[in-house]
Structure 1
Amino acid sequence: MQAPSIGGVALPRGNGSTIRLARGSSLADFADKIDANPASMVQALFHLGEMVTATQSVSDDILELLGSEMGYQVEIVSPDDEDRELLESFDLTYGEDEGDESDLVVRPPVVTVMGHVDHGKTKLLDAIRNTHVVDKEAGGITQHIGAYQVATHLGDEERLITFIDTPGHEAFTAMRARGSQSTDIVVLVVAADDGVMPQTVEAINHAKAADVPIVVAINKIDKEGANPDKIRQQLTEYGLVAEEYGGDTMFVEISAKAMINIDGLLEAVLLTADAALDLRANPNMNAEGVAIEAHLDRGRGAVATVLVQRGTLRVGDSIVAGNAYGRVRAMLGDHGEQVAEATPSRPVQVLGFTSVPGAGDSFMVVEEDRVARQIAERRQARARKAQIGNRRRISLEDFGKALAEQKIEQLTLIIKGDNSGTVEALEDSLLKLDVGEEVDLRVVHRGVGGITQDDINLAATTDAIVIGFNVKPVRGVQELADREGVDIRYYTVIYQAIDEVEAALKGLLKPEFEEVQTGSAEIREIFRSSKFGNIAGCIVRNGEIRRNARARLLRGGVVLNDNLQIDSLRRFKDDVTEVREGFECGIGLGSWNNIELEDTIETYEVREKPRS
């Protein structure tokens, strides 16, 4: 029986039957499911006001529109369901301990530290593992994610605890929430001199949603004005009742800075784990777990920090994480030591991936490299199909104006950064911006490493704005972006990116200053001087290099330092004020000596922009 024709095109009648389609499916995929002619579906959609080809990925709305006109109920399959079906096609499952009760052994608890910004989360982790993460971060915010295992004692028994080090700024709410899902216990840090703050409440809600026990660390008890009893009282309003008040939540008074009662906190974590949780896993199966952090290292390739949740990960295993795959070439522990195998709850850095996994991607070991490659390739193909954006070209400054004129309803972004955890957190924070129903924000691609030609081509196709977080374009890409009219934005502190995008979405962005590149030079030789440090022998690739100009150093497209100055500039033995494109010169960057061959020195000026 034929359905009423659409624009004279007869199509099969669905009679309310359900068709399951993956996000980003084409009309050819739809036609294959109902045994129809794809060409006739293209014609029918044309009469409904949508012009697409048979093999082009289309949006969920278009699939549902066509389905309803034909009498079908179109169900868009969730990514999780797609992935489950993909693994089942290879006779694989994820998240289940294989074997019986006798195969399970006790594993260390996995702990995430949460709390309000500046309440001392990073200082606490510093105190526990004697490192200084906060000194290395732009803006004083922990922006990279790692995992560390520490040893402590409970009575006479030595026990291990694994800590997931999550970012501490409010921009990373979603990242901390996901961290708690791979976490056994949450340590909630509350400053004794400050009290319960909005992020404290968010952390409590995340932990409760994930059904994770909470240990409260009342920090900064050595500061003037500290009132631990007030913290206990405040937290009772959120269901965290201290044991001394008749509840079941352990409260521990500490000072991370003064190293007071850190052992007491670790003991409370172990006591809570023993009392409330059955922490066991099967080490005698193929390893499964989660990628906590991943980045691209110039010397070692793709490097991922993974947390083994069940099974044992060994050097030589074939591994797939998200749409990345590879063979475990080497594993490093949290102190940089070589590791031959990682048992449940052990965090390790894995070398050997062919591309960078996403932070939070589940990983699993499979029997053959071929299977790992096929799973990753199918996931990549699925992700590409789902990358659909509109075609209108726009810049961030023009976005508010175009929005006011109703020329655009969606801001499309491509996000590139130096670290996958930061990229995912930035994306999640941007997607949660709420500025009303008139405008939408879409991220069509995210990745790790310098901004490449492929990124610019995708931006040109989807009319996206490129956001570079602590990365820069590789050679020649900026020129391509200029030709294509693609707007690239550079940031080093995450809340600055969020604020500007939110301002653009609200139509409030008022550009005042812009950065203008004045020249770039490639390092061809390095001359070492005991008096002046390392001198870079360079050739100027474009523009001109001026003495005393502001500069940044890039390695493989990633910014190493963007707060430098051309301290000295020479042509042979002569001091000069500028060197033009195509000429060689010697450049001194003051006290900065971390330079290598093929690094790029880029000079720039910050100029005031005329207001529109």
Structure 2
Amino acid sequence: MSIKNEKIFLLEDPKFINNLKFVDNKFSQDFNLSSNIAMSPDNSDFDLKFSKKAKNILKQDNKSKLKKKKINSIHLKQENVFKTKNKNKGIIRSEIDTNNILERSLKSNKQRKKDKIKQRLSDSINNIKIQSSELLEDNMNINNSYKSIIIDNSLTIEQLALKLKLPPAEIITNLFLQGISVTVNQIVDTTVATQVAQNYGFKVVVKNYINKLEQFNVNKLQVFNSSISIDRAPIVTILGHVDHGKTTLLDAIRNSHIVNKEIGGITQSISAYEVDWLYGEEYKKIIFIDTPGHQAFSSMRLRCSQITDIVILIVAADDGLQPQTIEVIDYIKLNQLPCIVAINKIDKIDVNIDKIKEQLASNDILTTDWGGYTQFIEVSALKKINIDKLLKAICDLLPSLKLKADPNKPAEGIILEAYLDKKKGKVVNLVILNGHLNVGDIIVSGNTYGRVKRLVNSLGYQVIKADISSIIEVLGFYSIPQTGRYFRVVQTEKEAKNLIQKYKLSSNMSQNKKNLLSSNLELYDYNTKKDIKILNLIIKADKQGTIDALVTSLAQIPQSKIQLNMLSSGLGVVSNTDLDLAFNTKALIIVFNLNIDNNILNKAEQLNVCISQFVIIYDFLEYIKSYMLDLIDPEYDKVLIGQATVQTIFSVNKGVVAGCIVKSGKLKKNALISVYRYDQLIYEGIITSLKQLKDNVGEVFMNNECGVMCKDYNSWQSQDNIKAYELYQQSKVL
């Protein structure tokens, strides 16, 4: 049949078209049947005359019809078939592959469901493979230079997983294979976190705990109106190793005698002072901050390095660079701080200044005399030598720093110290870096706020207004704020509460000092099979910074044998609640730099609760270590002193006696023995009775016969071998 010269009629209501085998191949097209019948691109000369609204209705109608149709039958209505016309030849085609329809119609419901399930499973597996490959690519193909992370402090497995962009289960499995059992909410210390990160190819930068939301670099203070900005006083922090003369230097600058008032001769808290010094023709105001040099106060030193403008690194000429000196140098380099080196104690005999300079140069602190950028000032704080040169060097740096402040801004600055005073209540010492602080202002810091009730300046005078670059004592906070945090003044209490709410939502409240100790129970000595004893602690101190230092120093004590668990820490005196907690948990109460009420002491004695009082951190640490050592069970070294063989056995009223001959060395009463039968250990115990003939003896030597009896062993047999040991107690170590 040929259709070339014949008219082609359009079918108005086609029911079924099986095949058009007579159609020339060059005009044929392939059509695939999808689960929904779709309209083909409009190449037709016929106008379908559907509006947009009508098309949408039709689409919905088609969907509902497809749902209602039976699988085993074919329904083709006029509205389901859209016709096209080839422009070259007028051949009518339906956009339906009828063969595919017939095949699908023969499938049962059951088979179709199975196919769908298989398809879904296949898709899920493919998705998992894709995600796994992407995860591997993220973690294995990234250049190591982009894989540096900061470990601030102890953190949970979930937080570590977020940092490393790994599933928590992966980290848990990794630690489990190393013998460390943790959960997703388990807190791990920096050592464990660093090890995990390094296993996955990360470069770890370990820093002491800094709340990132509260980092506040005074060199980057925003001044909203530069036309009214004014110069502000620099904050100069004196940092260095313990006993290198930091406080003595500050005494020399202030003509004071602070060092004579310090308990134990060491600084144990942050102190700030204002100094006016004549520079040229005008007085320059400088804020000095004195810091502790003891290892335990690293958090205080770090906090000061975050808020300072200039660091005075003090090095004793007779002692050179020490661990805390290196720590300070790291802070200087990390924060890129302007630095002046004060080489102290030059008045001492046989000091080698060049050696100090060489040590500093090896740590990238190079003097200007050797082509570097750091000024080195040789001073004697005790003899007040070159103090003026040091102050001049500080003032010479000020023009390059361009320290500005906006007097019209609401007051803002840094909290230096906070504590609970028995008479004053909650006391906060702070430095104002912008604006003015007035009595009655609403002040907010971290998760607390208050209304200023009283202001006391650095000279001890009560004022109603504190200016920029002032060190001020504030009363009025509703609770003790965290030291080192940023504060600001707001207009209303509602605004203060909103800021606190945002802070709580965005800050990590689980990173507290208590967790630093109590979470370590499963993180020390993972492979030991012995039970770890726990020493519960309750700490009461005068200042928040003191508590931080105490907890930090406790965390450095090895705890593989005795675990420290801090139940509570707080400011202020010991209360009845503290006594009840200590009584119920058998905790030790530590009181630092506070007095203890006599009534509390009497009640503690009745409850048999131990309260220990300290004013110097050295004494506190020695006491805790000694207390932990007393809790450790003694361990012994076994030294072989003799061997014997059982020859005969006989019973007596008190038990069974083994008649032995000493083959080597000696047997000794109360010695530890091991009994072997056919080279297999069958008993270990103590010789409770040793006789030679009928006499009780203390020792029996080689080639002599004796009777051996052990209180809890009667199963002797002839030819048993005995090895005797003398026990020597080992020195206890943590």
How does the TM-score come out when normalised to structure 1?
0.60
Partner of 2:176: none
One of 426, 435, 441 as aligned partner of 2:558: 435
Distance in 1 (CA, whole Å) between partners of 2:581 and 2:440 is 35
Pair 1:197 & 2:322 matched: yes
Pair 1:426 & 2:534 matched: no
1:232 shift after superposition: 1.8
Pair 1:367 & 2:491 matched: yes
One of 250, 263, 266 as aligned partner of 1:125: 250
Distance in 1 (CA, whole Å) between partners of 2:583 and 2:321 is 46
1:332 shift after superposition: 1.8
Pair 1:490 & 2:608 matched: no
1:60 shift after superposition: 2.4
Partner of 2:268: 143
**Aligned residue-pair number:** 424
Partner of 2:355: 230
Alignment of 1:180-191 (within 5 A): 180-191=305-316
Distance in 1 (CA, whole Å) between partners of 2:357 and 2:247 is 22
Distance in 2 (CA, whole Å) between partners of 1:343 and 1:98 is 16
One of 405, 413, 417 as aligned partner of 1:293: 417
1:358 shift after superposition: 3.6
Pair 1:353 & 2:483 matched: no
Partner of 2:661: none
1:384 shift after superposition: 9.3
Evaluate the alpha carbon distance shift between residue 440 and residue 100 of structure 1 in structure 2; reply closer, same or farther with a 3 A threshold. Answer: farther
Pair 1:246 & 2:359 matched: no
Evaluate the alpha carbon distance shift between residue 502 and residue 60 of structure 1 in structure 2; reply closer, same or farther with a 3 A threshold. Answer: farther
Partner of 2:594: 471
Evaluate the alpha carbon distance shift between residue 496 and residue 214 of structure 1 in structure 2; reply closer, same or farther with a 3 A threshold. Answer: same
Distance in 1 (CA, whole Å) between partners of 2:306 and 2:497 is 27
Distance in 1 (CA, whole Å) between partners of 2:600 and 2:212 is 38
Q: Is the 8 A contact 1:177 1:206 kept in 2?
A: yes
| Partner AA of 2:260 in structure 1 | D
Pair 1:134 & 2:243 matched: no
Distance in 2 (CA, whole Å) between partners of 1:480 and 1:348 is 39
Pair 1:318 & 2:435 matched: no
Q: Is the 8 A contact 1:133 1:142 kept in 2?
A: no
Partner of 2:290: 165
1:468 shift after superposition: 0.6
One of 430, 446, 451 as aligned partner of 2:574: 451
Which one is further off, 352-361 or 491-500? Answer: 352-361
Evaluate the alpha carbon distance shift between residue 228 and residue 96 of structure 1 in structure 2; reply closer, same or farther with a 3 A threshold. Answer: closer
1:315 shift after superposition: 2.0
1:188 shift after superposition: 0.8
| Partner AA of 2:438 in structure 1 | R
Distance in 1 (CA, whole Å) between partners of 2:228 and 2:553 is 41
Equivalent residue of 1:499, what SS? helix
Partner of 1:547: none
Equivalent residue of 1:416, what SS? strand
Partner of 2:406: 282
Q: Is the 8 A contact 2:412 2:434 kept in 1?
A: yes
1:449 shift after superposition: 1.7
Partner of 1:329: 453
Partner of 1:264: 389
Equivalent residue of 2:224, what SS? coil
Distance in 1 (CA, whole Å) between partners of 2:421 and 2:472 is 16
Evaluate the alpha carbon distance shift between residue 384 and residue 115 of structure 1 in structure 2; reply closer, same or farther with a 3 A threshold. Answer: closer
Distance in 2 (CA, whole Å) between partners of 1:358 and 1:185 is 23
Q: Is the 8 A contact 2:514 2:568 kept in 1?
A: no
C-alpha offsets along residues 431-472 of structure 1, whole Å, 9 cap, x if unaligned? 3x0526676545443322211123334556776532110224
Distance in 1 (CA, whole Å) between partners of 2:295 and 2:337 is 20
Partner of 1:339: 463
Partner of 2:299: 174
Q: Larger relative CO (CA 8 A, sep 6+): 1 or 2?
A: 1
Evaluate the alpha carbon distance shift between residue 489 and residue 152 of structure 1 in structure 2; reply closer, same or farther with a 3 A threshold. Answer: same
Distance in 2 (CA, whole Å) between partners of 1:102 and 1:190 is 41
Q: Is the 8 A contact 2:407 2:435 kept in 1?
A: yes
1:377 shift after superposition: 9.1
1:504 shift after superposition: 4.9
Partner of 2:540: 416
| Partner AA of 2:427 in structure 1 | V
Q: Which has the higher helix share?
A: 2
Alignment of 1:466-545 (within 5 A): 466-474=589-597, 476-478=599-601, 481=604, 486-504=609-627
Equivalent residue of 1:147, what SS? strand
One of 361, 370, 380 as aligned partner of 1:255: 380
Q: Is the 8 A contact 1:414 1:464 kept in 2?
A: yes
| Partner AA of 1:342 in structure 2 | A
C-alpha offsets along residues 484-512 of structure 1, whole Å, 9 cap, x if unaligned? 665432212112212333455567779xx
Distance in 2 (CA, whole Å) between partners of 1:424 and 1:389 is 10
Evaluate the alpha carbon distance shift between residue 352 and residue 211 of structure 1 in structure 2; reply closer, same or farther with a 3 A threshold. Answer: same
Distance in 1 (CA, whole Å) between partners of 2:412 and 2:246 is 28
1:306 shift after superposition: 0.5
Partner of 1:46: none
1:475 shift after superposition: 5.4
Q: Is the 8 A contact 2:236 2:289 kept in 1?
A: yes
Partner of 1:69: none
Q: What is the percentage of aligned positions where both structures have the same residue? A: 41
| Partner AA of 1:419 in structure 2 | K
Partner of 2:222: 97
Equivalent residue of 2:274, what SS? strand
1:139 shift after superposition: 1.0
Distance in 2 (CA, whole Å) between partners of 1:271 and 1:290 is 25
Evaluate the alpha carbon distance shift between residue 404 and residue 60 of structure 1 in structure 2; reply closer, same or farther with a 3 A threshold. Answer: closer
| Partner AA of 1:150 in structure 2 | V
Distance in 2 (CA, whole Å) between partners of 1:135 and 1:509 is 40
* Structure 2: runs of 5+ lacking an equivalent: 1-127, 132-153, 157-182, 188-208, 519-523, 634-734
Partner of 1:11: none
1:101 shift after superposition: 3.9
* Structure 1: runs of 5+ lacking an equivalent: 1-14, 17-22, 26-57, 63-77, 85-94, 394-399, 511-612
Q: Is the 8 A contact 2:513 2:551 kept in 1?
A: no
C-alpha offsets along residues 399-445 of structure 1, whole Å, 9 cap, x if unaligned? x9xx99944465543321123332222222223x0526676545443
1:250 shift after superposition: 0.4
Which one is further off, 497-506 or 415-424? Answer: 497-506
Q: Is the 8 A contact 1:413 1:466 kept in 2?
A: yes
Evaluate the alpha carbon distance shift between residue 183 and residue 223 of structure 1 in structure 2; reply closer, same or farther with a 3 A threshold. Answer: same
Equivalent residue of 1:60, what SS? coil
Q: Is the 8 A contact 1:185 1:273 kept in 2?
A: no
Q: Is the 8 A contact 1:107 1:344 kept in 2?
A: yes
Distance in 2 (CA, whole Å) between partners of 1:409 and 1:371 is 48
